[in-house]
Amino acid sequence: MGMTPKDVLAMIKEHDIKMVDVRFTDIPGTWQHFSLPASALTEDDFVNGIGFDGSSIRGFQAINESDMLVVPDPNTAFIDPMLKIPTLALICDIRDPITGEQYTRDPRFIARKAEEYLRNTGIADTAYFGPEAEFFLFNDVRFDQGSHFGYYFLDSDEGIWNSGADRHGKNLAYRPRYKEGYFPCPPLDTLQDVRSQITLNMMAAGIEVEVHHHEVATAGQCEIDMRFDSLLNMADKLIKYKYIVKNTAREFGLTATFMPKPLFGDNGSGMHCHQSLWKEGQPLFYDPKGYALLSDTARWYIGGILTHAPALLAICAPTTNSYRRLVPGFEAPINLVYSQRNRSAAVRIPTYSDSPKARRIEFRAPDPTCNPYLAFAAMLMAGIDGIKKRIEPPPPLDVDIYELSAEEKAHIRGTPGSLAESLDALEADHAFLLEGGVFTSDVIETYLDYKRSRELIQVAIRPHPYEFFMYFDA
């Protein structure tokens, strides 16, 4: 941190950088970019910005007001480890060229405003986030959709369904069975070197990695955990994380996906989000006398998360596929309660350590298809709302909720059953997001319209392959 434009230009010269890649994120959360020769980048570009067509970016401008500016943030400079031509990447903020103001629909600006709002409340000065983004690595991915057909086909050398297959004239076995992919050593875990290379590439890009391992599902489900960081920094890192995972996988002849539920009948990919608040270098979520060593502040933060969870999931679990994951039976956190150690609750309190610095909450419902700038900001805003209003969560449940009787479960709120339900919840409950001008009504309206018109309805109007199995002979 603390890089200046001069430092960036010196870095370009020192490392003989040939190209500069400027990057920013659209509303759904995909990294966008364009490049310029390194010799063309000037100090003025960090002040005046570089022009681009905002009408071609999802969720941004109309065609009659398309001109926008990207303004590189010098603190984000890193040498891209995935490119052969020496390239320096810069993450950018978006600005309106007419008013000169920061663009309200820029997800990174929203994340920055959330951090500022937290400081202005006086509650805390830092929100730390530690997302655990899971993903699959496949050997073969095919899908298509037309007026008279629709299909997808996934394959993995590691998939248990290949235990009886002829794999190029032989079959070497050793495949994780369904739901048994957690922590086996090679040769059962065939992806050790792939994850290690991903980890090394992440470290080269400035991401501090704590651990990597195979995940529960068969067919190449993986997880690489980053060390926690402040909200905006972690959102930047998560975007880099996904970029590096996808590109490293491709170098190994694999395809990575962060889809929450690519496989039927096995665990999906979530993004459990560890969160804590600090002030003046001191953790605020710890109380030696509280349940699970939680302070009142932490409990109220949880109250805010659980109260606003249906609306939050429109942003934190933002795809139709997200709700294929949020179903019973696959360790999915569908119960809006909290508990220590209990992975069947939407909010878990990790108990690996009793250190005050380790006291945090883990919101388990988000998945890695979310836009991290929007998702982290929304979770923080819900937590702040809980603290300000002293919202008490339901009593903690330290039992396996999946094993409770129907009568015992009757009073437990669940996560929404579909993206449509979550979007309706967000439309009805978003005042907490507007506090401090962090989100704006325009952003919420744009987001809802995009999700409903470009995603929700597009899935709803197409026949599903399983409908033929159920209804063709009706």
Three-class SS string for the chain? CCCCHHHHHHHHHHCCCCEEEEEEECCCCCEEEEEEEHHHCCCCHHHHCEEEEHHHCCCCCCHHHCEEEEEECHHHCEECCCCCCCEEEEEEEEECCCCCCECCCCHHHHHHHHHHHHHHHCCCCEEEEEEEEEEEEECEEEEEECCCCEEEEEECCCCHHHCCCCECCECCCCCCCCCCCCCCCCCCCCCHHHHHHHHHHHHHCCCCEEEEEECCCCCCEEEEEECCEEHHHHHHHHHHHHHHHHHHHHHCCCEEECCCCCCCCCCCCCEEEEEEEEECCEECCECCCCHHHECHHHHHHHHHHHHCHHHHHHHHCCCCCHHHHCCCCCCCCCEEEEEECCCCEEEEECCCCCCHHHCCEEECCCCCCCCHHHHHHHHHHHHHHHHHHCCCCCCCCCCCHHHCCHHHHCCCCECCCCHHHHHHHHHHCCHHHHHHHCCCHHHHHHHHHHHHHHHHHHHHCCCCHHHHHHHCCC
Q: Please indicate if the annotation marks 56 as binding a ligand.
A: no
Q: Please indicate if the annotation marks 353 as binding a ligand.
A: no
> Are 145 and 261 members of one domain?
yes
Q: Along the 474 residues of the chain, how does pLDDT read in single tens digits?
A: 589 999 999 999 999 999 999 999 999 999 999 999 999 999 999 999 999 988 889 989 877 778 899 999 999 999 999 999 999 999 999 999 888 899 999 999 999 999 999 999 999 999 999 999 999 999 999 999 999 999 999 999 999 999 999 888 899 999 999 999 999 999 999 999 999 999 999 999 999 999 999 999 999 999 999 999 999 999 999 999 999 999 999 999 999 999 999 999 999 999 999 999 999 999 999 999 999 999 999 999 999 999 999 999 999 999 999 999 998 766 678 889 999 877 678 999 998 888 999 999 999 999 999 999 999 999 999 999 999 999 999 999 887 777 777 787 778 899 999 999 999 999 999 999 999 999 999 999 999 999 999 999 999 999 999 999 999 899
At 330 the pLDDT is 66
> Are 53 and 145 members of one domain?
no
Contacts 24+ apart (CB under 8 A), 249-253: 249/137, 249/194, 249/198, 251/197, 252/194, 252/197, 253/139
> Are 69 and 176 members of one domain?
no
Q: Please indicate if the annotation marks 215 as binding a ligand.
A: yes
At 1 the pLDDT is 59
- Provide the annotated active-site residues: 53, 132, 134, 215, 223, 272, 343, 362, 364
Structural domain boundaries enclosing 288: 126-472
Q: Cα(142)–Cα(150) distance, rounded to whole angstroms?
A: 11
Pairing of strands 271-279, 361-363: antiparallel
Q: Please indicate if the annotation marks 411 as binding a ligand.
A: no
Q: The domain that contains 240 carries what CATH number?
A: 3.30.590.10
In a domain, residue 141? The reply is: yes
At 67 the pLDDT is 87
Q: Cα(398)–Cα(102) distance, rounded to whole angstroms?
A: 46
Q: Please indicate if the annotation marks 325 as binding a ligand.
A: yes
At 197 the pLDDT is 98
- The angle at the Cα of 446, spanning 443 to 447, to the nearest 5 degrees, equals 85
Q: Please indicate if the annotation marks 134 as binding a ligand.
A: yes
Number of structural domains in the chain = 2
Q: Please indicate if the annotation marks 357 as binding a ligand.
A: yes
The identity of residue 208, as a single letter, is E
Q: Which of 103, 135, 159 is the last residue of a domain?
A: 103
> Are 176 and 282 members of one domain?
yes
In a domain, residue 115? The reply is: no
Q: Cα(395)–Cα(400) distance, rounded to whole angstroms?
A: 15
In a domain, residue 214? The reply is: yes
Q: What sign does the dihedral 458-459-464-465 (CA atoms) show?
A: positive
In a domain, residue 117? The reply is: no
Are 438 and 430 in contact, with CB atoms under 8 Å apart? no
In a domain, residue 146? The reply is: yes
Closest Cα partner for 41 from 92, 81, 82, 1?
A: 92
Closest Cα partner for 223 from 209, 206, 237?
A: 209
At 65 the pLDDT is 75
Which residues on adjacent β-strands are paired with residue 283? 278
In a domain, residue 377? The reply is: yes
In a domain, residue 319? The reply is: yes
> Are 276 and 318 members of one domain?
yes
Distance of CA 87 to the CA centre of its chain: 25
Distance of CA 267 to the CA centre of its chain: 17
Tell me the backbone φ, ψ of residue 67, rounded to 5 degrees. -65, 125
| All residues at 6 or more sequence positions from 469 whose CB lies less than 8 Å from its CB, including other chains | none
Q: Please indicate if the annotation marks 58 as binding a ligand.
A: no
> Are 86 and 132 members of one domain?
no
> Are 212 and 334 members of one domain?
yes
Structure token digits, residue 197 = 């290379």
Q: Is 413 exposed, middle or buried (0-12, 13-18, 19+ CB in 10 A)?
A: middle
> Are 26 and 84 members of one domain?
yes
> Are 283 and 220 members of one domain?
yes
> Are 460 and 352 members of one domain?
yes
Structure token digits, residue 39 = 């010799």
Indicate the length of the chain as a whole number.
474
- The angle at the Cα of 236, spanning 234 to 241, to the nearest 5 degrees, equals 85
> Are 95 and 206 members of one domain?
no
Q: The domain that contains 20 carries what CATH number?
A: 3.10.20.70
Q: Please indicate if the annotation marks 223 as binding a ligand.
A: yes
At 288 the pLDDT is 94
At 142 the pLDDT is 97
> Are 370 and 286 members of one domain?
yes
Angle between helices 309-316 and 372-389 (to 10 degrees): 170
In a domain, residue 438? The reply is: yes
Are 89 and 43 in contact, with CB atoms under 8 Å apart? no
